Structure 1
Amino acid sequence: MADRLVCRECHRVQESVETDSCQSCGSTSLTEDWAGYVVITHPEESEIAAEMGVTEPGQYALKVR
């Protein structure tokens, strides 16, 4: 998991580290400095997704530095 990148803007964990931009929001601000993650499968029913502002299913970092 340490080799995965996370978007500083939307906190989405990137499945492929071969690209230099976020697959979700397009931001180029990616980092390896993050901690914890949550898997959101049904964002429309999730209180955590609402709190994080997540609208798409996926893996999201809880803390991004």
Structure 2
Amino acid sequence: MASNRLACHDCHRIVEPDENVCPHCGSNDLTEDWAGYVVITHPESSEIAEKMEVTESGEYALKVR
């Protein structure tokens, strides 16, 4: 995980630093100010995915400021 990657304020997805819009939800509210990193592979059976309201596999920030 590169520290300069961005997190989406809306869906918490981790995106590449050259992105201007989240390719997953379309939000342009991206930030470098995030903490925690989780990879969700099977959201249908993940307690973390349920708590985060995640329905798709991917890389997510646990906390986005």
TM-score range, shorter chain: over 0.9
Q: Detail structure 1 runs of 4+ shifted over 2 Å in the superposition.
A: 16-19
The letter of the residue matching 1:56 is: E
Q: In angstroms, what is the RMSD of aligned CA positions?
A: 0.8
**What secondary structure is seen at the aligned counterpart in 2 of 1:11?**
coil
Mark the runs of 5 or more structure 2 residues left unpaired by the alignment. Answer: none
1:8 maps to: 9
Q: Distance in 1 between matches of 2:26 and 2:35?
A: 21
Q: TM-score, normalised by structure 1?
A: 0.92
Q: Which has the higher strand share?
A: 2
Cα distance, 1:2 vs structure 2? 1.4
**What secondary structure is seen at the aligned counterpart in 2 of 1:61?**
strand
**What secondary structure is seen at the aligned counterpart in 2 of 1:44?**
helix
Cα distance, 1:18 vs structure 2? 2.2
**What secondary structure is seen at the aligned counterpart in 2 of 1:55?**
coil
**What secondary structure is seen at the aligned counterpart in 2 of 1:10?**
coil
1:43 maps to: 43
Instruction: State the identity as a percent.
Output: 62
